[in-house]
Structure formats: structure tokens, C-alpha cells
Amino acid sequence: MRTSTGQIGTIKKVLRHIGRYKWLVLASLILSAATVLLTLAVPILVGRAIDGIIGAGQVRFDVVWPLLWRIGVCVALTALGTWVMNVVNNRVTFDVVRDLREEALSRIHRLPLSYIDAHPHGETVSRVIADADQFADGLLMGFTQLFSGALTIVFTLAFMLTQNALITLVVVCVTPLSLFVARFIATRTYAMFRAQSETRGEQTAFINEMIGNLKVVQAYGREAAETARFDGINERLRECSLRATFFSSLTNPCTRFVNAVVYALVALAGALAALAPGSAMTVGMLTAFLSYANQYTKPFNEISGVVTELQNAVACAARLFELIEAPVETPDAPDAAPLADVRGAVAFDHVYFSYVKDRRLIEDFNLSVEPGCRVAIVGPTGCGKTTLINLLMRFYDADAGAISVEGRDVRDIPRRSLREAYGMVLQETWLKNATIRENIAMGRPDAPEEEIIAAAKASHAHGFIRRLPNGYDTVVGEDGGQLSQGQKQLLCIARVMLCLPPILILDEATSSIDTRTELKIQSAFAKLMAGRTSFIVAHRLSTIREADVILVMREGRIVEQGDHDSLLQKGGFYAELYNSQWCSE
Amino acid sequence: MLKYLKKYRVQCVCAPLFKMFEALLDLFVPLVVASIIDRGIAAGSAGHVWRMSGLLVALGLAGLAAAVTAQYFAAKAATGFAADARHALFEKLTSLAFSDVDRLGTSAMITRMTSDVNQAQTGVNMALRLLLRSPFVVLGAMIMAFTIDVRCALIFALVIAALSAVVAVIMAANIPMMQGVQRQLEAVLGATRESLAGARVIRAFRREDAEYQAFRAKNRELAARQLRAGRVSALLNPVTYVLINLAVILLVRRGAIRVDSGALTTGQVVALYNYMSQILVELLKFAALIITINKGWASWKRVEDVLALTPSMTALDEMGGAPSEGAPAVAFEHVTLTYPGAGSPALEDIDFAASRGQTVGIIGGTGSGKSSLARLIPRFYDATSGAVRVNGVDVRDWPKDALRAKIGVVPQKASLFKGTIRDNLRWGDPDAADADLIEAAAIAQASDVLAAKGGLDSEIAQNGGNLSGGQRQRLTIARALARRPEILILDDSASALDMATDARLRGAIAGLSYRPTVFIISQRAASIMRADLILVLDDGRVVGKGTHAELLKTCPIYKEIYDSQFGGEAPLPDAAATGNHPVRAIDSSANRLCGDPEKDNGEVSA
């Protein structure tokens, strides 16, 4: 449960975002004031016109006709003003939400990888999409109704005061009750809305996981079982949602009841005053008062309705702000100079690292790689090879010790410059939902056509690309769409081929490519690797054998280090791995 | 939509009824006030004033009770409706054929289930609460107007007709725009997912700004569409206002003339004017309501689109044929597969049979159709022509669950789910005992994963995020083995395993007591060369069929693959186990790699 200070903090942030559109907001407020005044004027004009209709043969057409014209003009102006105001409000709302989404996305690109790895993607998506949407709805309602409602109250109050101060006082004293009731309900529903929003996030995460892996779900005949689990969350959401929807919808009837009481009190006070001997109160005045009391309390209803919407909006905004304000990666040092003339020297100096504080992973790791060196990292699966890549690319920072490139601590190099020095092909291929061409040219978006095709040819992707319906302009679709794992991997290799960075990281780079194609790629890689430092995580010993240094990893540590022959002779873990390749069948 | 509301018909009827009751109570208020004026003030009775004021409060209380009941029913129906719709969607999505899933796309499915259903829920809630109330009040006021003066009331009828027409036109223009907004929202969602899923690659290629700009463009287009749609729906309110007030002007004008001629009294004109004001208030509410309902409806349409999908593949509920003992476990009879929308077939004229307990190795280049072949056995896709038979029965004649329960599939992409390792392994068999799971893990060479993570109870993060690729892969194999499948399909599922683990895995599977028919799809000749039957695929066709020794003699492509991995003078599989040859084999392959890459390249493509 959140305290109201949390709410106020969120509201302040929202206001800061709206601040950018202060001129539009001002225009909206002026238009709102104008339309409220015009709207209130129409009944008065009509009343005067009716006053001109005295009785049969006594109608003063000379008074009534011009009044009707004036009403017409007022109405036309009100309508125009309302429309423009609505458009302005839409603009402010949608622009604020657009800005928030942009901030969220720009933040996502600067979040540490640890955040992205630790938070279910579906939940983050729900913040950017669903929460932002709900926030927009609430904000729009707030905009269109809050201010005009308040103005209506002020203006009506002024009209009433000119009529009878005593009854006005009765009205003024009782109506805060309606605000009190609204507030009472609102503070309670805020927690319910937050619970609803959290359950919704949980469900979105579940949907994201299951729908993203629908094929596995079906392969295991888990449709019914997963639907049952889904129903569990769904049921909780239904309950949360029912509670939030119902309790928030109580505001309106409750305030309406308070208004009914106000109405009754005005009728009572007015009638008793009229009964009192020598009173100036007339039936006509009472009628006027009653209609004013209605006029005055109506916006209270609207406002309380808006308040519940705003509650929901604030709860959603709070979740969105949590994302926008999540701590970013430690920024690059201001004096960090980009790398120049990278030759490919990389060193690890007493590096310690772990993902979870109490589960030690990489400890006291030392390695010095000369330019042009080929480093092969081998070991049983799950021994921490991928972790090394996380550190090299600075996806994660070392807990202690230093990693350096060209003798410079990587923390003193701007990330962009550091990453530019690397070319990476990960085991988990990821392609953008864009054309093949855009995917290959990811590292160099301005690369000319010939070079893109040359890179595709070098990675032997050109053949299958040409056979696709639209060749290089084929859109690959979400998550790589219809491409096979191997085809995706070829594209990832082409991506690196185009950049020719001085240091290469190849993680299981060819695991899904048939060996014939792989041979072709390797020949291309051989060209690419010539004179370049490379880190190769691969399981094929034939690839690894070529390496200058082989790092044998086990449980996060480097247990052996050396070249193929010396390691084999040593008869240690590497030799065991190597020999078991065939013998264990 | 009615189908999903039917379950809540009591609530759906009661909510508007109670709302209307509340509105009716509102209509009494002017009568009570009139009584205060006529019989209280005029007759000088303070007691009557007190009583009537009390009645006003009582009416308010009754109204409150009615409204609270209505709100509860509406909320109950709307949230129940949304939950049922989400359930139906989820069920529908899990029942779709793979080709349908490919076509729909993940983002689209997610927005339908979240944002669209939410909008529909709000729409239903508001509709139940207000949709009937406003027309009820409008109609009531109109009837009252007719009882006062028919000729003036005709203005009412005219204005209400005109309003209906205007509302209809604006709605018709607005719904497609709203749908456009939701479509664009889907694009924004897709871009957001991509930024998260591709975080590593985006950063490695320093594309943060470009990705952000691409998102920004989509996001701006969304805001622009929202604005355009908003501009149209913002017309509703002012147009309603203008029409109603036009009617007021006409009413006063006609009223003035009729009063002057003595056909009406001033009081009656005031009453008519009051009813018109009442109509205005209700209609303004109604206009706002229409916008909400419009949005809800547009969203519901999109939900319905999915619900209305018929899976492009249907399965029988009961066996369409009798499995025969002597039939091969799996047989392909001249099978051709063309994916929907694809130009050329992925598989062409595949014909082979695998007896029970046999191991079938499938090898071939990237895109040669290996995975497509495997996908036909559990009937993930239907063959375009020809037939796939399991135990002698066409897979199309098997009930889906019965067929898939026999088969353990380990897909290329190793996906695990949030939950404990036990939960994940039990996907294979919901009733499996812990001992069975531990045994399956041992066969899958995943015992050390269990040890490292802390046993069956350790938690797996969403999508297996806290495991390495190799750990995930071995757990997915254990998951398939947990069901003791009759047919085990390993679709290149050892790619993240080192050679030693891969070999131990194959050894363990070969030693399984229940002797499953095993399909191994691999890029590595070493993984399949001991299979009873090897299929060599090239460009969707079988170009070699037989044992390792036969294929080396008869299939040039197989020999080429084998040589690329083992070098020219390769040992026979039986000899491989002696442990001496492999070193030689690796050496020669390595020598080739050390050689001139140009020459190497030339050789292969020759």
C-alpha cells in the first residue's frame, strides 16, 4: 500500500511533465472559463426571455426576439469553444503520454542489463503500454472536467451569494461533506487500483511467457494445465478488478446522496424562511435557489467521478515512473576519451564478479591477451563462459579488479567507443523486426548496398536471402519470424562481417549451422580474424584447436590455460574433455 | 459479445433496472418540491414542509441504495465478462495451429488479451450503468412534453431524431479511427518488446539511439492518430449542445407565439424548457458515454477477430483408425509440406519408415527441412500432400492429445518457464514422482544443473533467464524424457552442449529400458552416425537414406558433411569407440582448418 505522500510525489511529477505544454494548458483554461460563463449565461437569457412571455396577448416580442438571437450566438460560441478546448486537451494528454513513453524507452536503453535480465519483459511492457494508456484516460477526464467543474462551482456560488447569503451558507457548509466522502472513498480505492494494476502486470508477464512459447505449450499438451494456471491469476484479477471498479464507482452515488440532502436542506430552509412572517423570501427566489443548488452540486458529482479516474491514473503513472526512474547504468566518466587505434590488447586484472552477492562466480581472474590473439574459452556448459562476455562488453561491471583494453581501464572508456571495438555473435540470435538489409546494416546503417551484399556473401547468407520473397527487403517478422535458427545465425554473422571490428566475440557462433556451411563461414572468419583479437566460445574442439590461448573454465574459474598441445600433455581437465568426445559412447 | 454476457444476464438486467429506478426517483423530486410550494408555503404548513423535506432525503437514500446495487451488478458483470473473455482468448490461442500463431504474431496476441479486453471491460461497465438510463430519461421527458403540448413536443421529436443521426454519423467515422489507434498501439508495443529482448545486441551495435528514434516515430504516429480520432469524437459534445439549444430557441419562439395566442401558459413553457434542460444534461452524459463505448466496441471487435478464428487444423476426439502392432512407429508416405504463404515447398516427397526402438538420424544443411520434417510427427503442421503415420495410423486420425502424449519433443529453442524445476519437468508428465524426474534429469545429463541450482525445488526465472543456454537445453531434454515417450525427437537440441556431454547423452538415451523410437536432428555427423537409419536432406528432399557405412559409399553430400567434420580418412563408427582414431580425425580436420582458407572455401563449394 502506498502512502498519500507517494501519490503527491507522483502528481508533482505528472505536473512537471504537463509543464512543457503550459501555453496549451493556459489556452485550455481560458477556453474552459469562457465556455462555463457562456453556458451559465444561456439559462439566464432564457429566463429573461420567459419573463417577456407574460401571458396571452401580453408577449413582448420586441424583448424576446433579440434575446433569442443572443442565445443563438452564445450557443454557437460555446460549441466552438468546447470543441477547440477538447482538441487542445487531447493534444496535451496524448503528448504528455507520448513524452512519458519516450522517456521510458530512452530509459530502457540506459538501464543496466541486470535490470532487464531480472524483470520479466512482459511486466515492463505492461508499464509502457497498458499503464500509460490508463494514465492517458484519467488525465484526459481530469482535464476536461476538473477545471470546468471547479469554475462552475465558483460562478454559481457568486450568483447565489447575490441572492441570499444565509441559504448560500447552508449550501457551502454541507457540500464539503460530498468532497469528504469522495476523498474517503478515493484513498481506499487507490490501494485497490494498485493491486489491480499489479495483478494485471503479473498476468501480462504470464501471457508474455506462455504466448511467446505457445509451440512448446502445445507440444507438451499443456493447453489445459496452463489455462488453469492462467485462470488462477485471471480469477485474482477479476476479484481485484471487481473490488476496484465497484468501490470506486461508489463515489458517484454517495456524493449524489449528499447532494440530495443539500437539496432537501435548501428546500427546508427556503420554505421555512418563506413561511416566517415578514420574510423577503418568495417562491420565485426559492425556485431559483433550488435550481442553483442543483447547478452547484452537479460539478461535485463530476469531480468526484474524475477523482476516482485520477486515482487509477496516478497508480498507473506511479508504475510508469518507477520504470522511468529506475537507476541507470553508471554514466561514462565525463573525461572518458574514446578509444583510438584499437589493436586488440585486452587484459583482466584480478577480476571478481558474481550476479548474486552470495553466489561467487568469477574469482581472481587474470588474463592478458595480445593484439591478434585468438582466445578460446571452453568448458562444460554453464561454467561461466557467457559471463566473461558480459564483462568484456561491459554489459555488467566487475565487482573488483579491472578489465582493460589497450591498457586503459574499460570504466574510463565511453561504452559506445568500447563496444564499437567489439564484434559480437551471440548464441541467442536476435533480429529486429525489420528488413534483412536493415538487420545486416545494424552496425553501419549507412553502409552501401554492395558492402551489405558482400557481407552476406561472406557469411553465406546471400543464397537463402535471395530465395526469400522480397530478397534483402524481406521483413523478418517478430522474433525472427519464419527464419530458421541457422539462418538467423548467418544473418548475425553477416552483421559483424559488415563492421570489421578489431576484437571479435563469438559465442557458440555456429551452433545451429550445418558443418558444410560452417566450414564456409570459418574460412570467412579466418579472414576476419586475421590480425584481430578474438574470443571464441565454442564447443567444437576443431575450431578451438587453432587458438593461441585456450581458457578452460569450470564453475566460473579458469582451471587451465595454455595451447592445445600443452594442455593435452598436461593431462588435466582439458584432456579429459577432449578425449571424452568419442570414448564415452 | 452477448455470448460472454449471457452468464451475467441477471446482473446485466438488474444493473440498468436499478439505474432506471434511481432515475425514476429523480423524476419525483420536482413533484415533491411543487408540493412544498403549493401545500407547504401557500397553505402555511411548517409540518408539511418538514415532512416533504424528509421525503426528499428518503428519496435520496432509496436512490443511493438503488445506485449502489446497480454499480455492484455492473462491476460484477463487467469484470466477470472481461475475465471470461481473457480466459476464452487464452484458450483459443493455445488451441491455434502453429501456422495461425506464426501469422498472428506475439505482440498482437498480447495486446488483445490486455489492453483490448480492458477497454471492452470499461465499455461494458459504463454501458450497463448508463446506456439505458439516458434514453429512459430522454424518453420520459419527451412523453411529459407531449402531455403538455403536442405541437411544441414535436420539436423534441425532431431534435432527438436529428441527434440520433448525428451520433450515428460521428460513431461510424470514429470506430475505424479507433481501430487504427489500437493497431498503432500494437506497433508501439512491438517496438518496446524488441528493445527489451534485443538489449544486448542493440547495445553491442550501439543502436540505442536508432532504436529509440524508431520507437519515437511509431509513438509519434500513435499520438497523431489518437489526436485525429479525438478531434472527431470531440465533436459529439458541442454538436449535441448546439442542437439542443437550437431546440430551446425554437421552443421559446413557438411558446411565445402560442402563449400570445392564449394556447399555452407561461408555466407550461417553463416546464417544457425544464424538460429540455433535463434532456440536454442526459444527452451530454450520453455523448461522453458513447465515446467510451465506442472505444470498448472497437477493442472488442479486435478481440472477437481472434475468438472467431477457427484453428486451421482440427483434430478428432477419438481414434480414426486402429493402431497396428506390426506397423512402423513412424512412417512418412510421399510427404510434401509447403508453409502457408511460402513460395516453394519446405519438404518434398519424403518417404521412409522407422520401426519401434529405432534411432533415426536426420542431417542436412541449414534450411534443408530437417526441423520441418520433425514438426510433422507431432502434427504441429499438416502435410500438404502425402501422409504421416504413427503406429500405422495417419496423424490426422489421432486425437491431438493422445498423439502428442506419446511424443517427447525437444525443440531448438530451449524454453523453460517461471516456476520450480519440478514444475518444469512435470510438463512431461504431471504425475511423475520426484525419483522419475531425477532419473530423467540424469539421462539428460542435467544432474549437475539440479545440483548447482539446489534441487527440484529451485526456482527458474521467466523464460529460464537464470540458466545458461546449455543448462536450459539439458532441462528441456529432461522434460521430454520425464514422460517416457514412445517417440523422442531431439531437434538440434544438443547444440549448446559440449561434445562430451552430447556423447554421454546419446549413450544414456540408447540405454533407455523403454526403447523409444528416437529422432536425432543434428548438424554433427558424430551425433547421428550410429543411428539405425540416417536421412540426408538437401533443399527439402531426401538425398540419402541408409546407415552410416552405406551412405559414405552412396551419398556424396553425406560424405562431404562427414569429411568436413572428420577429415578424409574417417574411422567407421564402430572403430570410433576405441579412442585412438578420433584424435587422428580431429588432427586432420584441424590441419585442414589451418590450411589456406581460400583453398578450403574453393574445395567446399566445388
A394-408, pLDDT tens digit by residue? Answer: 888 888 899 999 888
pLDDT digits (tens, 9 = 90+) for A287-316: 667 766 766 667 776 776 777 778 888 888
Q: How far is A163 from chain B (nearest CA, A)?
A: 19
Q: Which of B202, B425, B498 to mutate to test the interface with A (most CBs of A within 10 A)?
A: B498
Q: What are phi and psi of B164, to 5 degrees?
A: -60, -45
Task: Categorize the per-residue pLDDT at A453 as very low, low, confident or very high, splitting at 50, 70 and 90.
Answer: very high
pLDDT digits (tens, 9 = 90+) for B224-271: 999 999 899 888 888 888 988 888 888 888 888 888 888 877 767 777
Per-residue confidence (pLDDT) for residue B341, from 0 to 100: 62
Per-residue confidence (pLDDT) for residue A159, from 0 to 100: 75
Q: Give ∠ CA B231-B234-B235 in degrees, rounded to 5.
A: 95
Per-residue confidence (pLDDT) for residue A542, from 0 to 100: 63
Instruction: Please judge whether A94 and B223 are an interchain contact, meaning their C-beta atoms are less than 8 angstroms apart.
Output: yes
Q: Is the pLDDT of residue B115 over 60?
A: yes
DSSP secondary structure letters along A328-390:
PPPPPPTTPPPP-S----EEEEEEEE-SBTTB--EEEEEEEE-TT-EEEEE-STTSSHHHHHH
Give every strand in the sheet of A408-409, ordered side by side.
A362-369, A346-353, A400-405, A408-409
Report chain B residues whose CB lies below 8 A from the CB of A304: none
| DSSP H helix total and E strand total for chain B | 24, 12
**Alpha helices for A441-505 (secondary structure H):** 449-458, 462-467, 485-499
pLDDT digits (tens, 9 = 90+) for B535-584: 998 878 888 999 999 998 998 888 877 876 665 444 444 333 333 333 33
Per-residue confidence (pLDDT) for residue B228, from 0 to 100: 93
Instruction: Please judge whether B367 and A484 are an interchain contact, meaning their C-beta atoms are less than 8 angstroms apart.
Output: yes
Per-residue confidence (pLDDT) for residue B580, from 0 to 100: 36
CB atoms within 10 A of CB A59: 20
Q: Give ∠ CA B599-B604-B606 in degrees, rounded to 5.
A: 90
The answer to whether the beta carbons of residues B250 and B156 sit under 8 Å apart is no
Give the whole-number percent of chain B exceeding pLDDT 70.
91
Per-residue confidence (pLDDT) for residue B256, from 0 to 100: 85
The full length of chain A comes to 585
Task: Categorize the per-residue pLDDT at A269 as very low, low, confident or very high, splitting at 50, 70 and 90.
Answer: confident
Report chain B residues whose CB lies below 8 A from the CB of A198: none
- Please state, in angstroms and rounded to a whole number, the distance separating the CA atoms of residues B343 and B10: 53
Cα B216 to Cα A112, A285, B224, B543: the distances in Å are 21, 59, 12, 50
DSSP secondary structure letters along B13-28:
HHHHHHHHHHHHHHHH
Q: Which one of 1.10.3720.10, 3.40.50.720, 1.10.600.10, 1.20.1560.10 gives the CATH number of domain B2-307?
A: 1.20.1560.10
Which residue of chain B comes nearest to A284, CA vs CA? B37
Q: What is the CA radius of gyration of chain B?
A: 37
Which residue of chain B comes nearest to A121, CA vs CA? B196
Top-confidence residue, A251 or B72: B72
pLDDT digits (tens, 9 = 90+) for A340-361: 888 889 999 998 888 777 667 7
Q: What are phi and psi of A405, to 5 degrees?
A: -120, 130
Give every strand in the sheet of A557-562, ordered side by side.
A422-425, A503-507, A533-537, A374-378, A549-554, A557-562
Cα A332 to Cα A243, A413, B270, B503: the distances in Å are 47, 7, 74, 46
Q: Is the pLDDT of residue B200 over 60?
A: yes
Q: What residue segments make up the domains of chain B, in order of their start?
A: 2-307
Instruction: Please judge whether B114 and A209 are an interchain contact, meaning their C-beta atoms are less than 8 angstroms apart.
Output: no
Per-residue confidence (pLDDT) for residue A480, from 0 to 100: 66
Report chain A residues whose CB lies below 8 A from the CB of B365: 514, 516-517
**Closest among A249, A248, A253 to A301, alpha carbons compared:** A253
What average pLDDT score do residues B2-20 get?
87
Instruction: Please judge whether A58 and B260 are an interchain contact, meaning their C-beta atoms are less than 8 angstroms apart.
Output: yes
Per-residue confidence (pLDDT) for residue B84, from 0 to 100: 92
Which residue of chain A comes nearest to B579, CA vs CA? A583
Q: Which of A275, A539, A548, A580 to mutate to test the interface with B (most CBs of B within 10 A)?
A: A539
What average pLDDT score do residues B192-216 get?
85
- Please state, in angstroms and rounded to a whole number, the distance separating the CA atoms of residues B537 and B370: 7
Per-residue confidence (pLDDT) for residue A142, from 0 to 100: 78
What average pLDDT score do residues A464-493 get?
79
Q: How far is B148 from chain A (nearest CA, A)?
A: 17
Type of residue at B381:
Y
**Closest among B252, B246, B273, B160 to A76, alpha carbons compared:** B246
Q: How far is A6 from chain B (nearest CA, A)?
A: 26
Q: How far is A69 from chain B (nearest CA, A)?
A: 9
What average pLDDT score do residues A210-226 get?
81
Q: How far is A133 from chain B (nearest CA, A)?
A: 8
What average pLDDT score do residues A114-143 get?
83
Which residue reads 559488415 in cell numbers? A498
- Please state, in angstroms and rounded to a whole number, the distance separating the CA atoms of residues B110 and B122: 18
Task: Categorize the per-residue pLDDT at A520 as very low, low, confident or very high, splitting at 50, 70 and 90.
Answer: low
Instruction: Please judge whether A264 and B411 are an interchain contact, meaning their C-beta atoms are less than 8 angstroms apart.
Output: no
Top-confidence residue, A165 or A128: A128
pLDDT digits (tens, 9 = 90+) for B323-342: 887 888 999 999 998 877 66
Q: Is the pLDDT of residue A497 over 70?
A: yes
Report chain B residues whose CB lies below 8 A from the CB of A292: none
Per-residue confidence (pLDDT) for residue A513, from 0 to 100: 63
Q: Which of A397, A515, A536 to mutate to test the interface with B (most CBs of B within 10 A)?
A: A515
Beta carbon pairs, A and B, within 8 Å = 545
Highest mean pLDDT out of A71-80, B122-131, B132-141: A71-80
Top-confidence residue, A272 or B77: B77
Report chain B residues whose CB lies below 8 A from the CB of A287: 37
Per-residue confidence (pLDDT) for residue A383, from 0 to 100: 63
Q: Is the pLDDT of residue A562 over 90?
A: no
Per-residue confidence (pLDDT) for residue B597, from 0 to 100: 31
Per-residue confidence (pLDDT) for residue A347, from 0 to 100: 92
Q: How far is A370 from chain B (nearest CA, A)?
A: 20
- Please state, in angstroms and rounded to a whole number, the distance separating the CA atoms of residues A215 and A221: 10
Largest distance between two CA atoms of chain B: 123
pLDDT digits (tens, 9 = 90+) for B146-194: 887 888 888 888 888 888 888 889 888 888 898 899 889 888 988 888 8
Task: Categorize the per-residue pLDDT at A511 as very low, low, confident or very high, splitting at 50, 70 and 90.
Answer: low
Task: Categorize the per-residue pLDDT at A339 as very low, low, confident or very high, splitting at 50, 70 and 90.
Answer: confident
Cα B277 to Cα A167, A407, A507, B224, B447: the distances in Å are 24, 82, 74, 36, 78
Q: How far is A98 from chain B (nearest CA, A)?
A: 6
pLDDT digits (tens, 9 = 90+) for B274-330: 777 777 777 777 877 887 888 888 889 889 888 888 877 777 888 878 888 788 899
Least CB–CB distance from A242: residue in B75, B94, B255: B75
Per-residue confidence (pLDDT) for residue B110, from 0 to 100: 84
pLDDT digits (tens, 9 = 90+) for B419-451: 899 988 988 888 889 999 999 999 999 988 888
What average pLDDT score do residues A99-105 get?
92
Instruction: Please judge whether B561 and A252 are an interchain contact, meaning their C-beta atoms are less than 8 angstroms apart.
Output: no
pTM: 0.68
Least CB–CB distance from A519: residue in B105, B449, B564: B564
Give the whole-number percent of chain A exceeding pLDDT 70.
87
Q: How far is A374 from chain B (nearest CA, A)?
A: 13
Cα A2 to Cα A70, A319, B271, B305, B414: the distances in Å are 52, 12, 50, 39, 39
Cα B103 to Cα A478, B97, B100: the distances in Å are 10, 10, 5
**Closest among A111, A493, A380, A27 to B199, alpha carbons compared:** A111
Which residue of chain A comes nearest to B92, CA vs CA? A223
The answer to whether the beta carbons of residues A577 and A538 sit under 8 Å apart is no
The burial class, CB within 10 Å (0-12 / 13-18 / 19+), for B365 is: buried
B602 contacts: CB under 8 Å, gap ≥ 6: none
Give the whole-number percent of chain B exceeding pLDDT 90.
20
Query: Domains, chain A, ranges and CATH?
Result: 4-324 (1.20.1560.10), 346-583 (3.40.50.300)
Report chain B residues whose CB lies below 8 A from the CB of A540: 499
Per-residue confidence (pLDDT) for residue B351, from 0 to 100: 92
**Exposure class string for B511-528: b at 16+ Cβ within 10 A, else e:** eeeeebbbbbbbbbbbbb
Q: Is the pLDDT of residue A421 over 80?
A: yes
Report chain B residues whose CB lies below 8 A from the CB of A250: 68, 71
Report chain B residues whose CB lies below 8 A from the CB of A225: 427, 430
Lowest mean pLDDT among A21-30, A32-41, B128-137, B347-356: B128-137
Per-residue confidence (pLDDT) for residue A538, from 0 to 100: 65
Per-residue confidence (pLDDT) for residue B596, from 0 to 100: 32
pLDDT digits (tens, 9 = 90+) for B52-83: 889 989 999 999 999 999 999 999 999 999 99
Q: Which of A17, A53, A393 to mutate to test the interface with B (most CBs of B within 10 A)?
A: A53
pLDDT digits (tens, 9 = 90+) for B13-65: 889 899 888 888 877 776 787 777 777 777 778 888 889 889 989 999 999 99
Instruction: Please judge whether A75 and B246 are an interchain contact, meaning their C-beta atoms are less than 8 angstroms apart.
Output: yes
Report chain A residues whose CB lies below 8 A from the CB of B577: 582-583, 585
Q: How far is A378 from chain B (nearest CA, A)?
A: 9
Lowest mean pLDDT among A164-173, A495-504, B16-25: A164-173
Q: Is the pLDDT of residue A585 over 60?
A: no
The answer to whether the beta carbons of residues A422 and A434 sit under 8 Å apart is no
Instruction: Please judge whether B79 and A577 are an interchain contact, meaning their C-beta atoms are less than 8 angstroms apart.
Output: no
Report chain A residues whose CB lies below 8 A from the CB of B430: 225
B56 contacts: CB under 8 Å, gap ≥ 6: A260, A263, A264, A267, B29, B32
